[in-house]
Amino acid sequence: MSSTTSRALFTWIAESVAGGESSYARLRAGGQLVMDRAEGARIHDVDGRAYLDYCGGYGVNLFGHAPRFLLEAITETMGQIGVHVAYPHRLAGEVGELVVSLVPGIEQLRFAASGTEATQAAVRLVRAATGRDLILKFEGHYHGWADHLCAGLGAASASRPATPDSPGVPATALDAVWVLPFNDVEALREAIAAAGERLAGVILEPAAGSGGLIRPAAAFLEALLADVRAAGGLVVFDEVMTGFRLAPGGAQELLGVTPDVTVLGKIVGGGLGLAAFGGSRELMRLEAENRVVHGGTTTGSPAALAASRSILTRLHDRPELYETLETTSAALADGIERAFAEAGVAGHVRRVGSMLQPFFSPRPATEPLTLAEVAALQDDERFVAFCDALEECGVIGHRYPLGRWFVSLAHAPADVDETVGAVRAALARIDVQPVTG
């Protein structure tokens, strides 16, 4: 099929927009289709081709693309008050109440305009509250692109202090950040001991969405919560990706633990630039009394809050939606694995709720615990070739080999069947490793 218009438009965009994309992650993923419209589970490019979409607005679109209720909520509010006013609005309290009722770790919150900003504010809060500077983070855990956490994304990137992942990040910005291997209780305990009175806290993704979907082992999580707190530090869960996706209360609800600070993004704003961070009332007094600097011109705009309220109300009132999402996601993972088996391809699917990723290798006997272990399970070249072939067969999934596809509530059983059919067709087009080969 032709994608002539897309190619021409992308080239034209890239004349004025460096790289043709305004995100390193999207540029790295390599998608050059220019999109025209989207609804539900489907997205349409400018050449008139429709795709079942599993990029899901990079995790924003839990209800699929352009749900009517969301558009109506935004336009109704904008009709009354515009996009942004920079005064308090009742929607702030309504969304605040909804988040507090849903997320166990949040008694009070502040809004921000992006996950990166909210994460930055959370780390600043933790440092201010403890009067200490040192933050521990983990290999493969992404917390946005700001200088102070732009480190430790690759395997074997553990270092003290952290080393920058990007030119332009001064090493001094990371003086007070250490990157540790994940799920390594010994390394964690040793670092806590070495940090001593400097330890302000630890930040982690409860399921590493950009690092192979690794979850914390039970013993590791227990040690982390107990030992960091015993040493006077605070625990931050970055739930920008997992919040409202894995459960109404996010990963913390599933894990049955309550972090000191929670960061939210993506789903909470329905794509309109809303994120949040919060914790106990006691901790948030620092924000309430304005003793720590946090701001932003457009934080908590009525339009974004209207989007948020429309989404969170549904999640609050209909927790059974998560059962539907789980059923669809499990069916898709099973279907892809069946297609692998039928094609005689060594492959498996890693899945955490509605985040899933096909891997081109047999399922390992034990769950991988580190980024290096999970990276060894992926055949990057085949995975990308598979995504390319799949796109030709009418399905788009994120191309990053250690990323994840997002299933949405708009994906119906028939969409799953169609996707599995496309997976079969895509596997037949690429040079794949046979199970025994």
Ligand X SMILES: Cc1ncc(COP(=O)(O)O)c(C=O)c1O
* Active site (catalytic) residues: 142, 238, 266
Task: Tell me whether residue 106 or residue 426 sits nearer to ligand X (CB atom).
Answer: 106
| Strands of 240-385, DSSP E | 261-264, 275-279, 348-352, 355-359
Residues in contact with ligand X, counted by CB under 6 A, come to a total of: 14
- Are 145 and 26 within 8 A, CB to CB? no
Least Å distance between CB 25 and ligand X?
Answer: 7
Give the gyration radius of the chain's Cα atoms: 22
CB of 429 to ligand X, least distance (A): 30
Nearer to ligand X, 382 or 398 (CB): 398
Residues 357 and 337: their CA atoms lie apart, in Å, by 11
For ligand X, the binding residue among 56, 105, 144, 201 (CB under 6 A) is 144
**Stretch of 160-168, 235-243, 253-261, 415-423 lying at the interface with ligand X (CB under 6 A):** 235-243
Q: Which is nearer to ligand X, 155 or 241 (CB)?
A: 241
**354 near ligand X, rule: CB under 6 A:** no
Least spacing, CB of residue 174 vs ligand X, in Å? 17
At 118, list the tokens.
């909210």
Q: Which distant-in-sequence residues (6+ apart) come within 8 Å of 2 by Cβ? A: 47
238 binding ligand X? (CB under 6 A)? yes
Give the footprint of ligand X on residues 114-143 (CB under 6 A): 114-116, 119, 142-143
Tokens at 294, concatenated: 């946090």
The H or E element spanning position 226 is helix 218-230
Q: Which residue is nearest to ligand X (CB)?
A: 115
Least distance in angstroms from the C-beta of 213 to ligand X: 12
Inter-residue contact 171 to 163 (CB < 8 Å):
yes
Pairing of strands 134-138, 199-204: parallel
The strand pair at 134-138 and 177-180 is best described as: parallel
By the rule CB under 6 A, 406 interacts with ligand X: no
One of 53, 184, 205, 253 touching ligand X (CB under 6 A): 205
Q: Which residues contact 208 (CB under 8 A, 6 or more apart)?
A: 138, 140, 141, 142, 182, 214, 215, 371
- Enumerate residues 239-278 that contact ligand X by CB under 6 A: 240-241, 265, 275
Point out which span in 108-116, 127-135, 169-177, 211-219 binds ligand X (CB under 6 A). 108-116
40/271 with CB nearer ligand X? 271
| Burial letters 159-194, b for 16+ CB under 10 A, else e | eeebebbeeebeeebbebbbbbbbbbeeebeebbee
The minimum distance between CB 209 and ligand X, in angstroms, equals: 5
Residues contributing to the site for ligand X (CB under 6 A): 114-116, 119, 142-144, 205, 209, 238, 240-241, 265, 275
